[in-house]
Amino acid sequence: MTIDFGAKSDAATIVNLTNHALFNMAGEGSPTGIYEQRLTIPATRYTPVDAALIPTGEMKPVAGTVFDFTQGRSLGDGIRDGRDPQIVIGRGWDHNFALDKGVTAAPQLAARLEDPASGRVLEVLSTEPGLQFYSGNFLDGTLIGKSGHVYRMGDGVALEPQKFPDTPNQPAFGSARVEPGTPYRHRMIYRVSVAR
C-alpha cells in the first residue's frame, strides 16, 4: 500500500505528515501481543526524549543499547528494561530513529517487522529521514478491537516515517519548512509478505 503525502503553501509553513496505524503481525488479538515479533530499523542513531516525550535535540548512538535494531531484535527483548531511563520515560519505545539513508528521492527501507511464528512480514519504506517507533505503551485496555479483544499495552506497534519530531525547534534536525513554490512530498509504502 502506498501513501503519497503532498502539501503546497502560499506562505512559509511547517509540514510533517505521517501515518499512525498500529500493526501486530501475529494477528489481531494475539495472546502474545508484539513481544515475540522481530523488528529491524536501519538506524545507528536515535533522538532521546524529555519527560514529555519531546526530543531533546541530542542524537545518541544505538550501539550497545536497547535501541539497537540494526541487526533485528525481538520486541520482548528490551521493551520493559527499566535500567534504561529512556525506556522508563516512554513506558517502552516511543522514539524517533535517524535512518541511515536520510532523505531519499525514492522510498527506501525504514523498518521491517516479522512474526516468526506465522512468517508474516511488514516492510515500511519512505522518502523521509526519520522513523518514530511506538510500541503501544499507552494502550490501556479501554479500546475494544474488531473481534471483541481488549487492546492492551504492547498489542500493536506504530512505525511512522517522518521528519524528526520537534524539528522546528531543533536546528540540528534540519527543516520541516515548506516555502511557496516548493511543495512538500512524502511517499510511504507498507509492503506485506510471508517469509517461508
**C-alpha–C-alpha distance, residues 57 and 50, integer Å:** 10
pLDDT digits (tens, 9 = 90+) for 37-79: 999 999 999 999 999 999 999 999 999 999 999 999 999 998 9
Q: Which of 126, 135, 136 is nearest to 106 (CA)?
A: 126
- Which residues carry out catalysis? 20, 160
Give the per-residue pLDDT at 189.
98
N-terminal to C-terminal alpha carbon distance within the chain: 21
Sign of CA dihedral 170, 39, 26, 107: positive
Going from the C-alpha of 152 to that of each of 29, 31, 145, 148, the distances in angstroms are 10, 10, 10, 13
The pTM (predicted TM-score) of the whole model is 0.95
Give the per-residue pLDDT at 150.
87
What pLDDT band is residue 153 in, cutting at 50, 70 and 90? confident
- The mean pLDDT value of the chain amounts to 95
